[in-house]
Structure 1
């Protein structure tokens, strides 16, 4: 059983950890899209939240005008202090455009919209996905607990093991070796911080309301790493913790195609490289790509050995093909299109909520 501490405070679950936490002072943000509508996993997550009794549950919802009303009605059937924030309505789009914040949309933008409202309604904010089949209410308590112990940010970590297979491929085969390679070719302090997290691509985290107002958020992929880096920029590594959430099972993505892992690697790579360059490092991208390939080969062999040790099915050749595809994401990160911290935004979270509410009412009246 592991009990090792990392560069950041690491809290381990040695059995049934269920600590006291400020749930009554917390807003839980659960982003959803149309695929979560009436899904069994989503229903189980919401039912668990019913037992938790947080101060608010905020659902940033990305859905078509045809589906949003029925989705909101379904959500209203749960016994929760619920705020549904429809993220794709016309009034909200106009509000964002007026503030100069229109542009690419995605999960990151949805969560950013919810963070402003959540931080206004509660002292603490927890964020997690809705498709986790192993979700328990105590996961929220575990995420919130470090915020009562002098930390401003907590990140969940877990084993991505299902059906005798290793998952978490983007983290294992891209993020981990990329950060290792950056440690070889740069001396940016943020690299040690990024390397300390056991599952940096986890969507589960908790923040104080003050930190939630001060982080900039990536619009689409790379959201999770981007928030991780922002917590470092705003509060420093000593303010961060990571929490053992056990074993998580949820949806898997294809490697290629729209919204596949290769597409996601572009956003994750840009988030990491923005953080490293902002920390003062000058990156030679040819050198970094070569270092990544070397580090990734070490990871492929190590994970193949781990799979064999557990008698798991494992496609070592396929993992090398993924590495080759991910290497294309190692490039200068381009323009910074992150959404601003709410503390700096020319937009009131209450105006966002009002626009989203009016949009949903109009969609219901169609």
Structure 2
């Protein structure tokens, strides 16, 4: 997507004649002064997939990456033992963190008794690993990505990390196009973009919404930052994690020191289903994302009444249905024969129902999606707890 359009958030698109080898060499030199790590949250099913096998193979060849932290979640002892064999090719670079170790869970329960952590999910897996990484102090810059990327190669991390390690942006967010024989990314195409547009129509010119609207793939799980920022960062324990992290970065960092980087020409990973009820699939994801937005807006003094929610739903439906027509034309232009207008409109209507659930949850729980306390507060509230967690993770058996 090579272009020179200047976004509100500094944006680096992918040019066709970039010299990846030169970028990687400069990154390698810089990594001797600024150690680099990678954090990957994963279920065992993710870790045992062909996608993760390729990710591990690529990571073993990246000399600029000093440590790879894999946060293994919802896994029993047998899963953990098999996982150790899977990550063995990483050798000393690899660090497998077993979150379901009873010793680790005992430490986490001690924290939860004083500072509620919210339900388990991707956010909790990231948070647990962050506590370990910050205590160890082995890396200065940390990249995050998921374990189910089917089109993964070294370009991902070279471009993502280069913006932070070499260009010294404080935070870099990855973006890309998701398509195959059809357009993917329904959550961002059919919900996030028209949802944020609707908020801007109703609430007017808010700097926060301008910032959140400017990301080209805001729900992407790939980003990098300095670990000093991670210590002070709160984020949701559920599917609102990406939106929550973008909101926290907005609070902690000036926008000119934030950037987004196009990582690849085409990206593919495991596809989520719409879900059969409000607590599964994309329906739950949409509700979690919406609640995170509502909490952020309320914290800025905006009153979200029942009338506001009714207007927002109708405005969202109007904008979402209009973009479906645009994506239909887009698919025809690129000869994507699998585009299904009915399925796209069904997704929009399902997301509108998910908004209803988000509205009700927000009225019952006005803080929105549960935010996990930042590690800076936790280490002050419970002396020695980070060292205790780290010791438990270092003694998995």
* Deviation of the 1:103 alpha carbon: 4.2
Q: Deviations 1:217-245 (Å, cap 9, x if unpaired)?
A: 21121111111111001113222100001
C-alpha contact (below 8 Å) 2:117/2:373 kept by paired residues: no
1:342 has 2:353 as partner:
no
Out of 214-223 and 15-24, give the one that drifted further: 15-24
* Deviation of the 1:201 alpha carbon: 0.4
* Deviation of the 1:174 alpha carbon: 0.7
Report the counterpart of residue 88 of structure 1 in structure 2: 100
CA distance in 2, matches of 1:259, 1:2: 38
Out of 259-268 and 152-161, give the one that drifted further: 259-268
CA distance in 2, matches of 1:9, 1:260: 32
Report the counterpart of residue 116 of structure 1 in structure 2: 131
CA distance in 2, matches of 1:123, 1:327: 41
1:184 has 2:195 as partner:
no
Q: Deviations 1:179-235 (Å, cap 9, x if unpaired)?
A: 000111113321100001000000000011111111102112111111111100111
CA distance in 2, matches of 1:252, 1:309: 24
* Deviation of the 1:327 alpha carbon: 1.3
CA distance in 1, matches of 2:183, 2:108: 41
C-alpha contact (below 8 Å) 2:117/2:372 kept by paired residues: no
C-alpha contact (below 8 Å) 1:143/1:206 kept by paired residues: yes
* Deviation of the 1:23 alpha carbon: 4.3
Matched residues, number: 359
CA separation of 1:329/1:276 partners in 2, compared to 1, >3 Å: closer, same or farther?
farther
Q: Which residue of 340, 349, 353 corresponds with 1:324?
A: 349
CA separation of 1:212/1:102 partners in 2, compared to 1, >3 Å: closer, same or farther?
closer
Report the counterpart of residue 199 of structure 1 in structure 2: 217
Report the counterpart of residue 122 of structure 2 in structure 1: 107
CA separation of 1:103/1:281 partners in 2, compared to 1, >3 Å: closer, same or farther?
closer
Q: Which residue of 43, 67, 82 corresponds with 2:79?
A: 67
CA distance in 2, matches of 1:102, 1:240: 27
Higher helix share: 2
* Deviation of the 1:259 alpha carbon: 4.0
Report the counterpart of residue 186 of structure 2 in structure 1: 169
CA distance in 2, matches of 1:189, 1:210: 25
CA distance in 2, matches of 1:55, 1:311: 43
Report the counterpart of residue 44 of structure 2 in structure 1: 34
TM-score, normalising length: structure 1:
0.92
Q: Which residue of 173, 176, 180 corresponds with 1:158?
A: 176
SS in 2 for 1:243: strand
C-alpha contact (below 8 Å) 1:109/1:217 kept by paired residues: no
1:357 has 2:394 as partner:
yes
CA separation of 1:61/1:155 partners in 2, compared to 1, >3 Å: closer, same or farther?
same
SS in 1 for 2:151: coil
CA distance in 1, matches of 2:298, 2:168: 28
CA distance in 2, matches of 1:110, 1:51: 26
* Deviation of the 1:36 alpha carbon: 2.2
* Deviation of the 1:350 alpha carbon: 3.3
* Stretches of 4+ aligned residues off by more than 6 angstroms: none
TM-score, normalising length: structure 2:
0.86
CA separation of 1:117/1:299 partners in 2, compared to 1, >3 Å: closer, same or farther?
same
1:129 has 2:166 as partner:
no
SS in 1 for 2:14: coil
CA separation of 1:288/1:93 partners in 2, compared to 1, >3 Å: closer, same or farther?
same
